[in-house]
Amino acid sequence: MDQQSAKVILDGNTYELPVIVGTEGEKGIDISKLRTLTNYVTFDQGFGNTSNCKSAITYLDGEAGILRYRGYPIEQLAEHAGFVEIAYLLIYGDLPTAEQFKNFSETFTEHSTLHEDMKHLFDGFPTRAHPMAILASVVCALSTYYPGIDSAALSTEEFDRVAVQLMSKIRTIAAFAYKKSIGEPFVYPRHDLEYVPNFLNMMFSNPSRPYKIYDEVSKALKVLLILHADHEQNCSTSTVRLVGSAHSNLFASVSAGICALWGPLHGGANEAVIEMLEAIQKEDSNVDKCLEMAKDKTNPFRLMGIGHRVYKSYDPRAKIIKECAHDILQKLGINDPLLDIALKVEKKVLADSYFVDRNLYPNVDFYSGIIYKALGIPRNMFTVMFAIGRMPGWIAHWKEMMDNPGRKIGRPRQIYVGHNKRDYLSINKR
Ligand code: CMC
């Protein structure tokens, strides 16, 4: 194999396939002509080795624990940037100038309210509805209240408006979903507040109890949103791309992404981690028992918040979140025993050959729930927080795909393993 091509030998014939090299030296074999040339397809369950696109949004090296948005290291962004600034960076490719940032922020404010009729949608859900179900439904329903957003025909200005509408309204929808679940009146967005404090105010203030917005709380939530803002071709982002590849509109595509994120193997893990830590606490903090269950191949239980498809070293986001958890608990004067249990689980995982041999480390969801809990965010809203954070990433990927003139509808192949041809028998002859 030379540097620019790969040779595949099938049935005695040699085929040459081009090699694609990314800007960070990642190499991929372009198999797009493989079936036409050879009649073979590739088999890759879970797409562990398959790139579906070239992307310039996020770079991630799972072996080295590197994550960068548009080239900027995640550590620098989490420390110094704002969430709206990061949204601009991800969607448009560069950090905004002061003027661009001002215009972008102003349109956020402009689009933060929901169409009044949309409030009735929330009444249609049972009180105990999971907010992720409400979020996915209401985001999809945006396309009925703000029509004329057919993706294939969107102009640049229309895309800008739809993207900001979605980014801005998602936090209003999320806060309304929460208010609905606790039977309190909706709190409308305020034009004098920035993105994160505005959201916190909609979540936690009510007519009889004004909410004091602490800078520490806003900062901790901002860091979490930035850390969740993109993670290249993860399950929900791939879903957004796949749905969008059929030219479904942005609202519908993102709604599908929200559903994918809800699963406990993906964004839903943050909720499951707290449940797991509480279960350990109930068992007299017996961490060993939990680890044994996770290692037992006859038991489907897994340690939640541990392991990652791409990271085979410590998830750089988890590193920042762990520090942030210590920091915010200390600042708020909270002593959460779940943090001690989590630290104990991590220590044992990092020293246990089962987890070490499989390169299993804490991921982004392992410590995030402890922070959300400290901020007063209820457990069923944890994955909603993830969704608000991931919104710029989903929008950026949808845009990148739609801007690619060579895009194709997503349509994987399969290897059929069912029955060979057989003839139909009417029901009384079976
Ligand atoms: N506990 C116990 N064993 C595990 C775990 C775990 N959390 N994760 C992976 N393994 C084992 C797995 O059983 C397998 O063992 P073996 O080789 O003996 O069959 C090996 O490690 C490889 O696992 P895999 O399932 O082939 O790996 P994957 O890349 O398909 O799955 C994962 C990645 C994240 C779904 C998985 O690690 C997992 O289920 N983790 C727990 C759920 C979780 O925390 N999810 C959040 C992921 S990060 C945020 C996000 O993406 O939203």
Question: Angle at CA 50, nearest 5°, toward 256 and 412?
Answer: 55
DSSP labels, 265-300: TTTTHHHHHHHHHHHHHHTTT-HHHHHHHHH-TTS-
Distance separating alpha carbons of residues 258 and 41, to the nearest angstrom: 30
Q: Is the CB of 358 under 6 A from ligand 1?
A: yes
Q: Is the CB of 312 under 6 A from ligand 1?
A: no
Q: What is the pLDDT of residues 267-288, one digit of tens each?
A: 999 999 999 999 999 988 789 9
Atom of ligand 1 lying closest to residue 309 CA: 29
Closest CA to ligand 1's atom 36: 307
CB 217 within 8 A of CB 64: no
Strands 66-69, 72-73: pairing is antiparallel
Question: Largest alpha-carbon pair distance within the chain?
Answer: 79
Is 365 annotated in the active site?
A: yes
Q: Is the CB of 294 under 6 A from ligand 1?
A: yes
Closest CA to ligand 1's atom 29: 309
Distance separating alpha carbons of residues 173 and 342, to the nearest angstrom: 31
Is 326 annotated in the active site?
A: no
As a whole number, mean pLDDT of residues 221-249 equals: 97
Q: Is the CB of 315 under 6 A from ligand 1?
A: no
* Active-site hit among 130, 230, 231, 365: 365
| The pair of three-digit structure tokens given for residue 24, joined into one six-digit string | 């960070």
Task: Compute the distance from residue 293 Cα to the ligand 1 centre, in Å.
Answer: 14
Task: Compute the distance from residue 102 Cα to the ligand 1 centre, in Å.
Answer: 42
pLDDT of 3 higher than 80: no
Give me the domains of the chain, ranges plus CATH numbers.
5-66 (2.20.28)
Q: What is the pLDDT of residues 89-146, one digit of tens each?
A: 999 999 999 999 999 999 988 899 999 999 999 999 998 899 999 999 999 999 999 8
Q: Is the CB of 233 under 6 A from ligand 1?
A: no
Task: Compute the distance from residue 309 Cα to the ligand 1 centre, in Å.
Answer: 7
Look at residue 68 and give its three-state secondary structure: strand
Which of the listed residues 302, 349, 356 should we mutate to test ligand 1's pocket, taking the one with most ligand atoms within 8 A of CB?
302
- Average per-residue pLDDT in the chain? 94
Global pTM?
0.95
Distance separating alpha carbons of residues 211 and 204, to the nearest angstrom: 6
Q: What is the pLDDT of residues 387-398, one digit of tens each?
A: 999 999 999 999
